[in-house]
């Protein structure tokens, strides 16, 4: 039975007994029996983000949260510091097509980076597309851009208010004129042009209703070809699987233009299926190449009918293999670059060479190989940091890459493929005094003895007296590696006197598939044990204390913070769970949540239900417990991890909190999971987070 809706006016009038004026959140007598266990879900109604009562709840919660934050000392000073640190020129990696260089640039405080085109590396940049002109509040983001082979046309994707839904548009590079082509309801895709520029391949879902577009589960991904100048309704369906609703498809044209390679994923598993379509003859069928779904197969490039893949088949830390599609029997596969003791995280096929990117203890190493797999060159990198990029094609004589660290802003480097010399193309000038800070890497033992790496960054000369305000960050999932990288937000934290620690937890990809699998499904608790052990190490080694230690994570990292806070509320002085997956029994019922069952498992299966229910943040909050001060952050347009996760968790945490520590939820409007968030909103959000931490970690910020 659903009780009568609480009137809007009642929200403002409700006063908590714990000294914070939380809105009263209606409880519903709702429960269900899952595998013999009765599970209560008293805040199920908050899943309806279109309901007037939910909208009123959001408004009331924000009023309490922002009222609290505005009362804290130093908020304006922190905002000013962050604004100054964000205000520096930032360039993206150039993409070369038709002799032109396509590159993004942000002058510092622009809400969205602008796309430019240059006729040479020394030419004056010309604005090609400025997404800041597409919305008054800067919430329409350019999420991808794809020039044709001759550089004459550009397909680009835009997203509004942080949604995963995208539209593809086309413009003429010489004039900037927008063409009539518009592709809608695109998600988890990009545009891959045919070499003649006649059209492009993309993937989409069927059009949802207005009420369902931010929450309905996304199934039946379909691959289409759009011929330039035609209406989307005329697009040709290239591939679909009506018998497998959870297969996603990504189409990519090979460098020589002879093949369409179709990569099929299922959930977030690194395993792939590979199909291809020869393009030399009209109407050629799609050919199934690798359909066993037994390993990762990441397409790298081709030499005619020989396809190259980065794969973890019989190589947990990955290797490069070659498959001749004319005779693809497994006993004919050829190993090009064997597995090493470092994790092969990516390979580029550029200028007739393979550029291999490795992670060794979460730090970048880059090695160049010839087509036969012989080592040609090892790139010299300037210390503990991360390199990325190395794009191009077989005819390229140059490629570009970035290098960054926790204390070094991202530089853009040009690599000459003739002599392998690197020169800096763009080097930012910031207000951050990099030489006053340092990063060290340590290793600690988790609960079961597993050796886990952690980066710690702080001002030089730090005293290990247990009194340093410290922020511990983690993720631990989906084969994603946390590597060193500069952030103006983190720079602001360091300038405030904070220590910043990043733990490379199991579930990530730092040490290959075995490391990833050790933090999934029935052994997901390993991830939380790793994070708790990192916190204990920082305390034991006198970097900080439990009264000076905060934890933070987003998305899967939000789950991490929620679970660890539930399990060890005594260990932390403040918690920042962002856009977290908090209801582990229902995440698979919304948008793309079903895809995460490859990492989490599903409550539909009894053994996985037991594991999920044991740590689900929403379900494991206990009455009578004093939880740390908590600032939950989410957004109303998050259609990746729907905001109901955070809504329900906040409501339950406010209900059970037994002490005066605040439990607040900050709900951003016209924003999503994080991608494309305007600079202004990023600064405001981080200023509020750091102000909250400064208050509860006892930092002097006035």
Start-to-end CA distance of the chain, whole Å, equals 51
Q: What average pLDDT does the chain have?
A: 94
- Please check whether residue 100 is in contact with residue 119, taking contact to mean a CB–CB distance below 8 angstroms: yes
Q: Between 536 and 135, where is the model more confident?
A: 536
Q: Residues for the chain: how many in total?
A: 702
Percent residues over pLDDT 70 in the chain: 96
Strand order in the sheet with 287-290: 247-253, 259-266, 272-278, 287-290
- Please check whether residue 108 is in contact with residue 409, taking contact to mean a CB–CB distance below 8 angstroms: no
Res. 484 pLDDT band, cuts 50 70 90: very high
> What does the pLDDT average to over 21-49?
95
* Cα(415)–Cα(435) distance, integer angstroms: 26
Q: Is the pLDDT of residue 4 over 70?
A: no
What angle, 0 to 180 degrees and rounded to 10, lies between the N-to-C axes of helices 679-696 and 488-495?
30
* Cα(578)–Cα(632) distance, integer angstroms: 6
Residue 463 Cα distances to 406, 479, 496, 533, 539, angstroms: 20, 35, 15, 22, 13
Strand partners, 458: 438
Res. 147 pLDDT band, cuts 50 70 90: very high
Percent residues over pLDDT 90 in the chain: 88
SS (H, E, C) 352-377: CEEEEEEEECCEEEEEEECCCCCEEE
pLDDT value for 638: 65
- Residues 53-71 have pLDDT tens digits of 999 999 999 999 999 999 9
Report the candidate in 365, 516, 363, 366 with the shortest Cα–Cα distance to residue 441.
363
pLDDT value for 670: 66
What are the backbone dihedrals phi and psi of residue 502, each rounded to the nearest 5 degrees, phi first?
-125, 120
Res. 77 pLDDT band, cuts 50 70 90: very high
Is 570 strand, coil or helix? helix
Longest dimension (CA), the chain: 74
pLDDT value for 10: 29
> What does the pLDDT average to over 322-349?
98
Q: Is the pLDDT of residue 9 over 50?
A: no
Q: Between 505 and 8, where is the model more confident?
A: 505
DSSP 8-class letter at 606: H
> What does the pLDDT average to over 679-686?
94
- Please check whether residue 518 is in contact with residue 451, taking contact to mean a CB–CB distance below 8 angstroms: no
> What does the pLDDT average to over 198-203?
98
- 337 Cβ neighbours under 8 A, 6+ residues apart: 319, 320, 344, 347, 354, 356, 369, 373
The number of beta carbons lying within 10 Å of the beta carbon of residue 333 is 16
Kindly report the pTM of this predicted structure.
0.93
- 122 Cβ neighbours under 8 A, 6+ residues apart: none
What are the backbone dihedrals phi and psi of residue 261, each rounded to the nearest 5 degrees, phi first?
-100, 125
* Cα(349)–Cα(356) distance, integer angstroms: 9
* Cα(404)–Cα(410) distance, integer angstroms: 5
Strand partners, 301: 308
**Torsional sign, CA 666, 667, 673, 674:** negative
> What does the pLDDT average to over 132-142?
90
pLDDT value for 672: 55
Res. 702 pLDDT band, cuts 50 70 90: confident
List the catalytic residues.
555, 673
- 152 Cβ neighbours under 8 A, 6+ residues apart: 98, 172, 173, 174, 197
- Residues 270-281 have pLDDT tens digits of 999 999 999 998
Residue 558 Cα distances to 216, 617, 631, angstroms: 22, 10, 11
* Cα(69)–Cα(83) distance, integer angstroms: 18
- Please check whether residue 603 is in contact with residue 39, taking contact to mean a CB–CB distance below 8 angstroms: no
Is 285 strand, coil or helix? coil
Report the candidate in 277, 278, 320 with the shortest Cα–Cα distance to residue 299.
320
Sort strands 398-404 and 386-389 into parallel, antiparallel or unpaired.
antiparallel
What angle, 0 to 180 degrees and rounded to 10, lies between the N-to-C axes of helices 644-656 and 556-567?
10
- Residues 373-382 have pLDDT tens digits of 999 999 999 8
- Residues 623-661 have pLDDT tens digits of 999 999 999 999 876 677 799 999 999 999 999 999 999
Q: Is the pLDDT of residue 17 over 80?
A: no
DSSP 8-class letter at 422: E
* Cα(556)–Cα(666) distance, integer angstroms: 18
- Please check whether residue 238 is in contact with residue 286, taking contact to mean a CB–CB distance below 8 angstroms: yes
Report the candidate in 514, 520, 507, 434 with the shortest Cα–Cα distance to residue 475.
507
* Cα(457)–Cα(118) distance, integer angstroms: 37
The number of beta carbons lying within 10 Å of the beta carbon of residue 251 is 24
- 308 Cβ neighbours under 8 A, 6+ residues apart: 299, 300, 301, 302, 320, 321, 322, 323, 336, 347, 349, 354
Q: Between 485 and 283, where is the model more confident?
A: 485
């Amino acid at each position: 039975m659903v009780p009568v809706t609480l009137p809007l006016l009642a929200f403002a009038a409700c006063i908590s007994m714990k000294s914070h004026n939380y809105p009263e959140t209606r409880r519903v007598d709702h429960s269900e029996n899952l595998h013999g266990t009765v599970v209560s879900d008293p805040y199920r109604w908050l899943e309806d983000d279109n309901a007037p009562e939910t909208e009123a709840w959001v408004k009331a919660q924000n009023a309490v949260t922002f009222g609290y934050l505005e009362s804290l000392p130093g908020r304006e000073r922190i905002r000013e510091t962050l604004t100054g640190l964000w205000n520096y020129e930032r360039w993206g990696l150039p993409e070369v097509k038709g002799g032109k260089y396509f590159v993004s640039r942000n002058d510092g405080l622009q809400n969205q980076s602008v796309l430019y085109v240059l006729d040479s590396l020394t030419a004056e940049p010309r604005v090609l597309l400025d997404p800041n002109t597409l919305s008054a509040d800067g919430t329409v983001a350019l999420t991808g851009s794809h020039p044709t082979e001759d550089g004459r046309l550009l397909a680009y994707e835009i997203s509004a208010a942080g949604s995963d839904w995208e539209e593809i548009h086309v413009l003429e590079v010489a004039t900037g004129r927008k063409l009539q082509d518009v592709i809608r309801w695109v998600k988890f895709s990009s545009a891959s042009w045919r070499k003649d520029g006649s059209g492009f391949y993309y993937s989409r879902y069927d059009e949802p209703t207005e009420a369902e577009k931010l929450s309905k589960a996304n199934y039946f991904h379909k691959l289409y070809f759009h011929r330039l100048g035609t209406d989307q309704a005329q697009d040709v369906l290239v591939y679909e699987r009506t018998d497998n609703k959870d297969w996603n498809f990504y189409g990519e044209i090979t460098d020589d233009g002879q093949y369409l390679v179709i990569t099929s994923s299922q959930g977030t598993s690194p395993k792939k299926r590979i199909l291809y379509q020869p393009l030399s003859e009209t109407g050629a069928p799609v050919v199934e190449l690798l359909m066993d779904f037994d390993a990762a197969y990441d397409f790298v490039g081709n030499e005619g009918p020989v396809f190259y893949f980065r794969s973890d088949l019989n190589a947990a830390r990955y290797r490069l293999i070659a498959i001749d599609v004319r005779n693809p029997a497994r006993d004919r596969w050829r190993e090009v670059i064997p597995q090493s003791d470092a994790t092969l995280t990516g390979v580029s096929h550029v200028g007739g060479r393979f550029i291999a990117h490795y992670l060794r203890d979460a730090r970048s190493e880059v090695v160049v190989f010839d087509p036969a797999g012989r080592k040609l060159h090892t790139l010299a990198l300037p210390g503990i940091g991360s390199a990325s990029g190395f794009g191009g094609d077989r005819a390229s004589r140059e490629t570009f890459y970035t290098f960054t660290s926790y204390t070094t802003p991202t530089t853009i480097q040009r690599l000459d493929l003739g002599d392998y010399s690197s020169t800096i193309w763009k080097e930012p000038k910031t207000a951050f005094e990099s030489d006053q800070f340092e990063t060290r890497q340590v290793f600690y033992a988790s609960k079961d003895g597993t050796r886990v790496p952690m980066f710690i960054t702080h001002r030089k000369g730090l005293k290990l007296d247990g009194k340093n305000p410290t922020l511990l960050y983690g993720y631990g999932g989906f084969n994603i590696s946390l590597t060193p990288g500069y952030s103006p937000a983190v720079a602001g934290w360091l300038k405030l006197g904070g220590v910043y620690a990043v733990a490379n937890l199991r579930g990530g990809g730092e040490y290959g598939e075995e490391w990833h699998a050790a933090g999934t499904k029935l052994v997901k608790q390993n991830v939380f044990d790793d994070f708790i052990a990192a916190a204990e190490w920082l305390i034991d080694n006198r970097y900080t204390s439990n009264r000076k230690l905060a934890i933070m994570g987003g998305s899967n990292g939000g789950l991490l913070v929620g679970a660890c806070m539930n399990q060890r509320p005594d260990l932390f002085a403040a918690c920042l769970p962002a856009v977290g997956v908090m209801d582990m029994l229902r995440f698979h019922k919304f948008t793309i949540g079903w895809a995460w069952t490859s990492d989490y498992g599903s409550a539909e299966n009894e053994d996985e239900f037991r594991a999920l229910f044991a740590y689900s943040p929403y379900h494991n909050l206990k009455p009578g417990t004093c939880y740390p001060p908590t600032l939950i952050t989410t957004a109303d347009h998050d259609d990746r991890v729907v905001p109901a996760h955070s809504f329900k968790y906040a409501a339950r945490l406010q209900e059970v909190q037994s002490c005066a520590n605040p439990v607040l939820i900050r709900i951003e409007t016209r924003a999503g999971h994080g991608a494309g968030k305007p600079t202004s909103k990023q600064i405001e959000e981080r200023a509020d987070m750091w102000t909250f931490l400064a208050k509860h970690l006892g930092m002097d910020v006035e």
